[in-house]
Amino acid sequence: MLEKCRNAKERWGGVSEIIDHLLEERQQLISRFVALPSLKVDSELKAHTEAFCDLLMDYLSSGHFEVYEQLLREGSEFDDGSLEKAQKLFPRIQDSTDYALDFNDNGFACLAAPTVHQVREFADHLSRLGEKLEERFELEDRMIEILHNSHRDLVLTEAGE
Cα(37)–Cα(57) distance, integer angstroms: 20
Identity of the amino acid at 64? H
Identify the pLDDT of residue 3. 64
Check whether 71 has a pLDDT greater than 50: yes
Check whether 145 has a pLDDT greater than 50: yes
Q: What is the 3-state secondary structure (H, E, C) of 103-125?
A: HHHCCHHHCCCCCHHHHHHHHHH
Hey, what domains does the chain have and what are their CATH numbers?
2-158 (1.20.120.1370)
Identify the pLDDT of residue 160. 54
pLDDT class of 78 with cuts at 50, 70, 90 = confident
Identify the pLDDT of residue 20. 87
Per-residue model confidence as pLDDT tens digits over 20-70: 899 999 999 999 999 998 888 777 778 888 899 999 999 999 998 888 888
pLDDT class of 14 with cuts at 50, 70, 90 = very low
Identity of the amino acid at 111? L
Q: What is the mean pLDDT of residues 122-146?
A: 94
User: DSSP secondary structure string, the chain?
Assistant: -HHHHHHHHHHHTTT-HHHHHHHHHHHHHHHHHHHGGGS-TTHHHHHHHHHHHHHHHHHHHHIIIIIHHHHHHHHHTS-SSHHHHHHTTHHHHHHHHHHHHHHHHTTGGG-SS--HHHHHHHHHHHHHHHHHHHHHHHHHHHHHIIIIIHHHHHHHHHTT-
Q: Which residue has the higher pLDDT, 67 or 131?
A: 131
Identify the pLDDT of residue 133. 97
